Amino acid sequence: MAVRQEWSVKYRAAILERNSDCRLLRVTEANDAIRRRMGEVEETSRERRRLEHAVRSLNALGGRPA
């Protein structure tokens, strides 16, 4: 069974958050986790592309800029 990365769990929580008061916090937490993970993976990896896509999606929700 695959273990979900921390960034993936936080990203999902941000995307699914319906309460606008909580959304910014969830987006910030997800962005922070994604940035940490980006520092750990190779730039050419499939996961890196997933991370970059997640950042763009969070920005579309109104998160901080990339």
DSSP state of 42: -
Res. 66 pLDDT band, cuts 50 70 90 = very low
11: pLDDT strictly greater than 80: yes
14-60 pLDDT, tens digit per residue, is 999 999 889 999 999 999 999 999 999 999 899 999 999 999 999 99
Q: What is the largest CA-CA distance in the chain?
A: 36
- C-alpha 48/C-alpha 26 separation (Å) is 21
- Whether the CB-CB separation of 42 and 18 falls below 8 Å is answered with no
Q: Tell me what pLDDT residue 4 has.
A: 74
The pTM is what? 0.83
DSSP states along 45-59: SHHHHHHHHHHHHHH
**Tokens describing residue 13:** 């929580």
Amino acid of residue 13: A
